[in-house]
Amino acid sequence: MNRIQQLITANFDRYDGKDIEAYIRLGGFTAIKKAVEQGSDYVIDELKLAGIKGRGGAAYPTWKKWDAGRRRVAEQKFVICNADEGEPGTFKDREILKKDPYKVIEGMMISAYIFGAKKGFVYIREEYWDIQKTFKKAIEKANEAGYLGEGILGTDFDFTLEVFSGAGAYVCGEGSSLIESMEGHAGRPRIKSPRIGEKGYLGYPTLVNNVETLAGVTRILEMGASEYARYGTEKSKGTKVISVSGNVNRPGVYEVPFGVSLREIVYDVAGGVENDRPVKFLQLGGISGPLVPGSALDTKYAYETLDEKGFTVGSGSVVVVDDNNRIIDYLVSVSDFFYHESCGKCTPCREGKRQLTRLLKKFVDGTARLEDVNAIEKVANTMKHASFCGLGQTAPTAILSALKYFMPELWQLVEEGVHENVAEGEWK
């Protein structure tokens, strides 16, 4: 099995991401043609066969989401591409948007056609301001070429597309927060139900998909689902676009078939660890994902094998950390991030993050005691179960996995702290 594949990223570096004619020469807009000709049942069946799941991190089967969505009747419906890629360690959508924007636009056209939307938005994070500019130009060109606008492909399919800029809020990666910010409000999550699929933007049914999911849908229809499904494993079909970073020799965006091992990703795909040091741990799926100890490197990168061990594919980020790093420093960094990004709406997340940050810093200061470990566990579990949205629920994931795999190192900090404080006469 080849460790690197180019299905979703097939067009990378084969055109400059601007030239729509070049995109068409590479087979562009054949997927939307198929969708229009064969109808929505065909598309749903293809997506089901391809087994593609939401690539932003939630991993909900795309066909299910689309199938439920297309049946909803409403005066207006909207589609949104979530390009608010905010999970630290994740930058694969950045590359897709930059190197093959038309594949995403085509994916949005397909989603709009199936869902019954006439209007779509691409919500791109503020940090990718340069991509917002090139994407707006790509939309213009698609308009001029008649792929957007009225009567697309000589049918009665009308669809227009607009870019909306995020403004630097991690929580807006969550669908309802994203929509709140598009309506002129702070990006705080809405209560469910209704889900945004029923009542989203301006109260109308809204279908939100991640950048890679949309590019993937285009590719699947282009090549045929049965061909796509030949890659990957039985339960995780196809490929995944991953972002590899941290202590590796060749950080970057790669497309791998599901089923490669984590070891292959680190050593064969990303060129191994800097200075040949051992892998201490990986963090998978973004900052909200678990830590994977170096001893688990032979785990296969697929939904079922990762889930089984409590790990996750998530956003597809693989942060590699070598043995020069202390687990506590990494956890403090994770905790600081969530403390900064908690929207403050619900108490478990807002106050839980404050307490976790305070408790973790005691380990750094050498003032942590036995009961602090228990307190961390209690606060982390409370957040996991009682937080309002995914942010708070997943914020303690890294910490909980560290308690599972790196307890001896944390204990050592407690013991060293005790000795130090006794020596300084501060221990009471």
Partner 1 sequence: MNEYSQIDRVLQRYHYDSKALVNILQEVQETCKGRYISEATAEYVAERLDVTKSNVYEVVTFFAALREHPVGEVLIQLCNSTVCKVKKNIEVKNALEEALGIQMGETTKDKKFTLQYTTCFGACDVSPAVRVNKVVYGNLDRETTLALIAKLRREHCE
Per CB under 8 A, residues contacting partner 1 are 85-91, 94, 125-129, 164-170, 181-188, 243, 245-247, 251-253, 283, 287, 317, 319, 321, 325, 329-330, 333-334, 336-337, 340-341, 343
The answer to whether the beta carbons of residues 56 and 241 sit under 8 Å apart is: no
Cβ atoms of residues 383 and 395 within 8 Å:
yes
Residue 55 or 65: which CB sits closer to partner 1?
55
Min. distance of Cβ 175 from partner 1 in angstroms? 16
Please say which residue, 167 or 422, places its beta carbon nearer to partner 1: 167
Indicate the residue among 147 and 201 with the shorter CB distance to partner 1.
201
CA atoms of 290 and 245, how far apart (whole Å): 16
Residue 169 near residue 136, CB atoms below 8 Å: no
Beta strands in 62-172 (DSSP E): 78-83, 119-124, 149-152, 157-165
The least CB distance from residue 172 to partner 1, in Å, is 9
Cβ nearer to partner 1, comparing 167 with 407: 167
Whichever of 34 and 137 has its CB closer to partner 1, that residue is 137
The three-class DSSP label of residue 286 is coil
Closest CB 159 distance from partner 1, rounded Å:
20
Nearer to partner 1, 91 or 228 (CB): 91
CB of 91 to partner 1, least distance (A): 4
Other C-beta atoms closer than 10 Å to the C-beta of 362 total 18
Cβ 245 to partner 1, closest distance in Å? 4
**Backbone dihedral angles phi then psi of residue 209, each to the nearest 5 degrees:** -130, 150
State phi, psi for 357 to the nearest 5 degrees: -60, -45
Non-local (6+) Cβ contacts of 59 within 8 A are 53, 303, 313, 314
Smallest separation (angstroms) from partner 1 to the CB of 178: 11
